[in-house]
Amino acid sequence: MVGKNKKPKKTKKQKKIVDEYQLRRELREYTKMPEYADLVQETAVFVQDKPQYSEDLRIGGIEGGGTHSTLVILDGKGARLTEIKGPNTNHWTIGIDETAARLSAMIEKGKQDLDMPKSVPLDCVGLSLSGCEEETTNRQLVETLLQKYPNSAKDYVVSSDTLGSLRTGLQSGGIVLIAGTGSNALLLNPNGETHGCGGWGHMMGDEGGAYWIAHHACKYVFDDMDGFVKAPEPISYVWPAMRSYFNVIDRNSILPYLYANFDKSIIAGFAKEIAIGCEKGDPLCLKIFEEAGCFLAKHVIALSKKAHNDLKLAYGGLKVICVGSVWESWKFMKNGFVNEIHDTRVVDELSLLRLLTTSALGACYLAAEKINVPFVKPYESNVEIFFHYKRDNYLETRTTELKNHTLVSDNNHVHENGEST
């Protein structure tokens, strides 16, 4: 009997206990049923027939430097349709309006190659250009393109040439180190955070780039001939090479190239003559490229301090994509680069990679992401490792080399004194 002040207790509804293993057994039984198998097959066919993205999309990417530019156009599946070469597109040297005009001309040439009507714009174009590090000028460039050349592309995404190169070869992040006409480096962490080093132009930097190499060589000659500062090695190759390259007979005749008729790319072209001097074994040329390697390593060291541990601890260590014509002379820069990395004790392991394709592809990838077009990006096939550094291995190698050098020196000393053969 229930008391006046007591309410009958409500019986709690017991929760049904789910037997996970029983569910799995039942699912296995279901899969044996012909009706279920037919349903799965029909669903698979339906999913397979449904396109994830349109093959008719046209996505462009332009890699632009201080000397030349490259346009690549992909379809919605990531297949390369055409590639166009173009001129310098650095807006700091030619202006926003001229840059926009050159970019549009390249795009129109690409559309012409694909038999696209002039009135049909590309769906999106990625612009990875030298000098595009500031958001304000980047927006100005996009606005100019959309207003003056509305049929070139529906939309744009703008970034520096360093980011385009990095996104061509690395998915999760790393460093790109450009050594072309100038020099520039960019770190991309896995969380999307970026840090830069260099890229300030020939007046404030460009160490290790072709312009710096050429100017450095000329400076050695001028100072040595003035008796101001003696060059570290004889100028017997570099001075005649300067006269031949600039087609002059004395130093005064070079001044117009440096001032009145200054053209950065023309000065930078002299770096090729220094590379030729390295091939011939000229000590001053070898010294200059070793110094270039040292300065390029400093870019990596500066950015490695801000790199996420996931990048440093990855297989092969910190990945550095090396872009630009100066890297073709890696064998002459190697000692300076490696010694600088090793002596600073900041980087324990790194891999240097070269692109096997144009970094305009990275600009295409950025454009595809801007308009949410998914396709598989073949990062691994876009790059190859050409040098690997590991501190422990380097120490072992150096120790072995020192021992061998000591043995050879000792043997030579014995031979010279005639005490042993």
Q: What per-residue confidence (pLDDT) applies to 397?
A: 65
Assess contact for 75 and 55: CB atoms under 8 A.
yes
Assess contact for 333 and 289: CB atoms under 8 A.
yes
- DSSP percent split of the chain into helix, strand, coil, nearest 5: 50, 20, 30
pLDDT tens, residue by residue, 149-172: 999 999 999 998 888 889 999 988
The dihedrals phi and psi of 265, each to the nearest 5 degrees, come to -65, -35
Q: What per-residue confidence (pLDDT) applies to 399?
A: 57
Residues of the chain with pLDDT under 50: 1-4, 8, 10-13, 15-16, 21, 24, 27-28, 30-53, 407-421
CA–CA dist 258, 132 (Å, integer)? 25
> In the 8-state DSSP scheme, what is residue 230?
-
- CB count within 10 Å of CB 393 equals 11
Which residue type sits at 243? R
At the top level of CATH, the class of 182-354 is alpha beta
Residue with tokens 């590309």: 122
**CB within 8 A of 337, min separation 6: which ones?**
293, 294, 296, 297
CA–CA dist 227, 220 (Å, integer)? 11
CA–CA dist 404, 409 (Å, integer)? 9
> Among candidates 107, 50, 59, 98, which has minimal Cα distance to 79?
59
Residue with tokens 């830069």: 196
CA–CA dist 40, 32 (Å, integer)? 12
Q: What per-residue confidence (pLDDT) applies to 346?
A: 94
> In the 8-state DSSP scheme, what is residue 194?
E
The token duo for 171 is 């998915």
Q: What per-residue confidence (pLDDT) applies to 394?
A: 75
pLDDT tens, residue by residue, 1-45: 444 455 545 444 454 455 554 554 554 454 444 443 443 343 333
Assess contact for 128 and 360: CB atoms under 8 A.
yes
Q: What per-residue confidence (pLDDT) applies to 396?
A: 62
Render the burial of 253-262: b for 16+ CB within 10 Å, e for the rest. ebeebeeeee
Instruction: Tell me the angle at which helices 34-49 and 20-32 cross, rounded to the nearest 10 degrees.
Output: 80
Kindly state the helix (H) or strand (E) to which residue 251 belongs, with its residue range: none
